[in-house]
């Protein structure tokens, strides 16, 4: 009897050890989704709206009964735009939380740091970062919702061609987004007959860029300046240029699509030209525009809930969660099937444009997802 008891206890112990080594799975009635976003810090203009938007949409989905009866269990991690934190959170979400998918990060630099981790972990990543290198080359499990920076560059250069601007200066923040944008600006310029006669990189934490502005002003060949940034310093660039009395045309990247940057720059923001998704001008779109209904609905929901102006960045979060939700609705909560569903998703109307993903395009947007805009009387308007 004693031998039997001992054998039984050993068997139970072995079974417990086996079970403890099996990864914990999410409850069968939930879908666990992680989100890594810059809710605080220098990139909070991006991550704050994204976090609020994703939580808002998840709450709506769950209140309606979930997806095929499964509620979304959302875990938001605040990276503060710190790549090392993003790496740590990604490993935690994959290895400990066993999430179904990850939304974000907010920035391109963070995304590039975790891209391979998600790929190796066979975990779907839908990034809110904009740099084209996130999806070029394509990684099986990695997608992104913001428009390609190469398209933004081409929209800017098209406008310059119309104005016969041929010689320009390029400024860029020392972030992943800034570095990728600078590379695109330099690479694509010859296609449009444009010469980049000066190119400068500034620190993302800079509070005064008057020295670099003075350096550029000394070059009398410069006909326009393009600033590529997602950080508050892009408002400082505008201020320093205007304070110096330089009336050169100032173009910004699609990273300028938050009215808070305009407010930070004040009068210096007037006349800034930039490409962006149509969310910023949803109210004036013709009724025939296929995005108008969804843009107005999101704008209404966000602004009424948070008493804050909707931005394109919150829109990137909206697109990320809704693309994931649509895929799960179509094929069920199976990771591989959902990955395949996203890759083959066509005509999904989001805030960033109409998405048509494919095996060779994990962004799914074309150049028409951008419209050229400017700042007039402190507001965004079509250019």
- The CATH number for 247's domain is 3.40.50.2300
Domain with 119, as residue range(s), is: 30-147+292-365
Looking at the fold, whether 131 and 71 belong to one and the same domain comes out as: yes
On whether both 178 and 204 belong to a single domain, the answer is: yes
Q: Please indicate, yes or no, whether residues 154 and 260 belong to a single structural domain of this protein.
A: yes
3-state secondary structure of 290: coil
Q: Are 135 and 142 in contact (CB under 8 A)?
A: yes
How does pLDDT run across 102-145, given as a tens digit for each residue?
999 999 999 999 999 999 999 999 999 999 999 999 999 999 99
Beta pairing partners, 177:
none
Grade residue 14 by pLDDT with cuts at 50, 70 and 90. very low
Q: Would you say residue 3 has pLDDT above 50?
A: no
d(CA 146, CA 62): 25
Q: Establish if 194 belongs to a structural domain.
A: yes
10-14, 58-62, 72-76, 176-180: which has the minimum mean pLDDT?
Answer: 10-14
Q: Helices marked H in 218-333 — which ranges? A: 233-243, 259-265, 292-306, 312-331
pLDDT digits (tens, 9 = 90+) for 302-319: 999 999 999 999 999 999
Q: Is 139 in the same domain as 155?
A: no
CA distance 198 to 221: 10
Q: What is the pLDDT of residue 99?
A: 98
Helix or strand run (H / E) with residue 211: helix 210-217
Handedness of CA 62, 78, 39, 368 (dihedral sign): negative
Residue 283 falls within a domain, yes or no?
no
In a shared domain, residues 141 and 209: no
Bridge partners, residue 71, by sequence: 30
Both 301 and 330 in one domain: the answer is yes
Claim to verify: residue 43 and residue 111 sit in the same structural domain: yes
CA distance 323 to 109: 23
Contact partners, residue 76, CB within 8 Å, separation at least 6: 34, 35, 37, 39, 51, 54, 55
Q: What percent of the chain has pLDDT over 70?
A: 93
What pLDDT was estimated at residue 256? 94
For residues 188-200, average pLDDT: 98
Determine the pLDDT at residue 144.
Answer: 98
What digits encode the pLDDT tens for the residues 25-42? Answer: 445 789 999 999 999 998
Neighbours of 11 (CB within 10 A): 10
Judge if 254 and 226 occupy the same domain: yes
């Amino acid at each position: 009897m004693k031998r039997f008891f001992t054998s039984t206890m050993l068997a139970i112990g072995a079974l417990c050890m086996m079970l403890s080594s099996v990864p914990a799975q999410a409850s069968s009635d939930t879908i666990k989704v992680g989100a890594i976003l810059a809710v605080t810090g220098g990139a909070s203009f991006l991550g704050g709206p994204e976090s609020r938007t994703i939580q808002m949409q998840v709450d709506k989905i769950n209140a309606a009964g979930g997806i095929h009866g499964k509620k979304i269990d959302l875990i938001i991690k605040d990276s503060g735009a710190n790549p090392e934190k993003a790496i740590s959170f990604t490993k935690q979400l994959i290895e400990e939380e066993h999430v179904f998918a990850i939304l974000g990060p907010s920035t391109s630099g963070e995304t590039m740091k975790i891209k391979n981790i998600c790929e190796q972990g066979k975990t779907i990543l839908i990034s809110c970062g904009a740099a084209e290198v996130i999806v070029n080359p394509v990684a099986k499990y990695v997608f992104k919702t913001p428009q390609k920076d190469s398209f933004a560059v081409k929209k800017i250069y098209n406008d310059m061609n119309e104005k016969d601007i041929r010689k320009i200066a390029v400024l860029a923040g020392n972030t992943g987004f800034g570095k990728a944008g600078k590379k695109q600006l330099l690479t694509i310029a010859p296609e449009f007959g444009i010469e980049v006669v000066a190119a400068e990189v500034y620190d993302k934490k800079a509070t005064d860029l008057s020295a670099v502005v003075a350096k550029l002003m000394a070059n009398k060949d410069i006909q326009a300046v393009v600033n590529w940034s997602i950080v508050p310093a892009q408002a400082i660039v505008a201020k320093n240029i205007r304070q110096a009395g330089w009336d050169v045309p100032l173009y910004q990247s699609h990273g300028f699509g938050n009215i808070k940057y305009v407010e930070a720059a004040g009068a210096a923001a007037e006349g800034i030209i930039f490409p962006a998704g149509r969310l910023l001008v949803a109210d004036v779109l013709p009724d025939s525009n296929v995005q108008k209904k969804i843009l107005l609905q999101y704008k209404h929901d966000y602004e009424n809930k948070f008493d804050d102006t909707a931005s394109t960045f919150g829109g990137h979060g909206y697109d990320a969660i809704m693309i994931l939700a649509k895929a799960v609705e179509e094929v069920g909560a199976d990771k591989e099937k959902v990955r395949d569903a996203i890759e083959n998703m066509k005509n999904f109307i989001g805030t960033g444009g109409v998405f048509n993903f494919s095996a060779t395009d994990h962004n799914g947007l074309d150049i028409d997802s951008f419209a050229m805009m400017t700042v007039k009387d402190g507001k965004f308007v079509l250019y």
